Structure 1
Amino acid sequence: MKIGIIGAGNIGGNLTRRLTALGHDVSVANSRGPHTLTALAEETGATPVPVEEAARGAQVVVVTVPLKAVPGLPPGLFDGAADGFAVIDTGNYYPQRDGRIAEIEDGLTESRWTERQLGHPVVKAFNGTYAQDILDKPRPRGAADRVALPVSGDDEAAKKVVRDLIDELGFDTVDNGGQDDSWRQQPGTPVYGNRGGVAEIREALAAASPERTAEWRA
């Protein structure tokens, strides 16, 4: 597939490494410009592009930037994306970094807030994944120690594309429902940072509380 990655930090960089290794056509962008991505491009074969071009022709677009940076992404970000493209949101609300976001503090789920900024539905995935695990933890389908990732989204077709891609990356997935349920995988919940398999991830999602703890509030 043609995949655009916006953000080349730990998660974005390691997704670039794995997805290019699997043969996907990856374009990668960051806030500092393509010239700062030369080393990653040489390592992986990905194409460094301006943010405005990252989604061009893409079937999947990964938005992996700090939440505070989402409103500043350029208008028309998804112009030229492929028909039926899916957007993966890996983001988390960290008040110490992002400042106070009133809607999230008042109970709006983080990915629902991101959707409103982007003007497009998203599939929440990888937000509780350790970046190094993207390189170190892939396992064949059916392996006893295969890690499972929770996935939330309202667009079932987009969610299937994302779950299939995660499977190809070497991880199982657990459907966490739509974005109104995505609080179950936000920071501070039992599933956040959880390296368990399908059964453990299901249990962790079921055990989550919608109350945002003080640690994760502004």
Structure 2
Amino acid sequence: MKMQIKEFAELTGVSVRTLHYYDEIGLLKPSEVDAQNGYRFYDERSLERMQEILFYRELDFSLKTIAQILSSPDYDKQQALTRQRKLLLAKKERLERLIDALDSMEKGEGFMKPNNEYEDLKNKYAEEVRQRWGSTDAYKESQQRNTDFSQAASLLDAVFEEFAELDRSGTSPDDEAAKIQVEKLQRCITDNFYTCTNEILAGLGQMYVADVRFKNYIDKHGEGTAEFVSQCIKSYCK
């Protein structure tokens, strides 16, 4: 089986932009790259690798931690795939029970307690990973970032507030001050969440206005701030 990147993205539910980033950081390389046109291709082994990545993402581990786990000489791939299937089945059952619970409440039949097997399994597998790889620098960095999330969110809020002030002052997205602010945003994301390449940054700029959740979050600093941030990023990345 040989798939172009768009086919592979649709099959796995991961965006093309994310696959480019995984290639860039060495987490998931294409099985083949056409030397003439640069097209990326993926195969069955790529699909297995993606399934493993998705399993550890489900457990909330950073990409750096996942890369270190997958490259470990004693890593058990088959065990990870088996556990992912079990975890996803538990997640599916939990969602079905939650839907049943909502249906029951709408009918006035009372609350149906959801099954906690998914959370129990997730915590169990995460703890096993912690015990096995908890001493690695990548894992420690991942945990530290999780601990500092509230502080990071506050820093990001401050960056968006500065964007709002620039917008209110009449700054153009093409101005040097706007470009400096975009660099500040990119650095804030990289330092506190994940490596924000220019490609990822461009995608975020589109998402800030396309996704109503992000738009509302940013526009709390002032109506139109999300659109202004998006235009600043577009100008910066072109």
Structure 2 length-normalised TM: 0.26
Instruction: Choose between structure 1 and 2: higher strand proportion.
Output: 1
> Whose helix fraction is larger, Structure 1's or Structure 2's?
2
Larger-gyration structure (1/2): 2
Higher relative contact order (CA 8 A, sep 6+): 1
